[in-house]
């Protein structure tokens, strides 16, 4: 027991703060959301939240961590499924972009594609880059081994695909029209990757 709070209760309280904060961040965005509003939604005083988190940034990072952890098991299921590698790549890309779309809501991407808090955005993105490249590598490696993909350097191709996805984030999510056509955009991307741009 710490400060009169048992570990299980403390964990439950922390998870509840993260859950409520996620709803507030998603509704208002990072810049407009305040700890006061989160506390009001919780029905708690600010000192209660400060017992678990030192700042709004730290709480926001916990919210993003929880969102990534929620989807990580789905990513693992995709990678380890019996689907063809090409199908895995499509499913993975859809899930991945769905996560980034969620973060775009949190960060309030403006119409010109500039995030409200670029430093925090990059800090969180870098945190997950290594694992993301590993997921892509596993899919491309399987596809190469079973003859679906003709890749000489899987490691390089993994980083290249990851770089393409990163480069598409701002164009995809800063445009409202693009958000409604996400699946089509992903299909177009995969078509270019699988078939190239040269006429046969």
Q: Residue 110: pLDDT above 50?
A: no
Would residue 143 count as lying in a domain?
yes
Q: What is the pTM of this model?
A: 0.70
Do 120 and 182 reside in the same domain of the chain?
yes
The 10s digit of each residue's pLDDT in 50-63 is 999 999 989 988 98
> Do 103 and 64 touch, CB atoms closer than 8 A?
yes
Would residue 147 count as lying in a domain?
yes
Do 120 and 178 reside in the same domain of the chain?
yes
Do 25 and 104 reside in the same domain of the chain?
no
Q: Determine the average pLDDT of the residues in 67-93.
A: 88
Total number of domains constituting the chain:
2
Would residue 85 count as lying in a domain?
yes
Percent of the chain with pLDDT over 70: 80
Domain with 68 in it? 64-195
């Amino acid at each position: 027991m710490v400060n009169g709070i048992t570990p299980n209760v403390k964990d439950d309280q922390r998870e509840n703060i993260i859950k409520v904060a996620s709803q507030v961040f998603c509704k208002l965005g990072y810049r407009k959301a305040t700890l006061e509003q989160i506390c009001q939604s919780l029905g708690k005083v600010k000192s209660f939240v400060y017992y678990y988190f030192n700042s709004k940034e730290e709480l926001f990072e916990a919210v993003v961590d929880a969102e990534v952890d929620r989807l990580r098991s789905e990513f693992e299921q995709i990678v380890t499924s019996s689907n063809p590698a090409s199908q895995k790549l499509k499913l993975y890309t859809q899930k991945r972009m769905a996560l980034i779309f969620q973060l775009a809501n949190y960060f309030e991407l403006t119409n010109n594609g500039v995030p409200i808090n670029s430093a925090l955005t990059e800090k969180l993105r870098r945190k997950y880059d290594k694992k993301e490249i590993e997921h892509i590598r596993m899919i491309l490696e399987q596809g190469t081994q079973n003859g679906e993909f003709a890749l000489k350097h899987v490691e390089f191709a993994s980083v290249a695909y990851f770089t393409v996805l990163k480069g598409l984030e701002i164009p995809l999510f800063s445009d409202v029209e693009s958000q409604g056509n996400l699946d089509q955009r992903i299909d177009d991307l995969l078509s270019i990757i699988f078939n190239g741009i040269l006429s046969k």
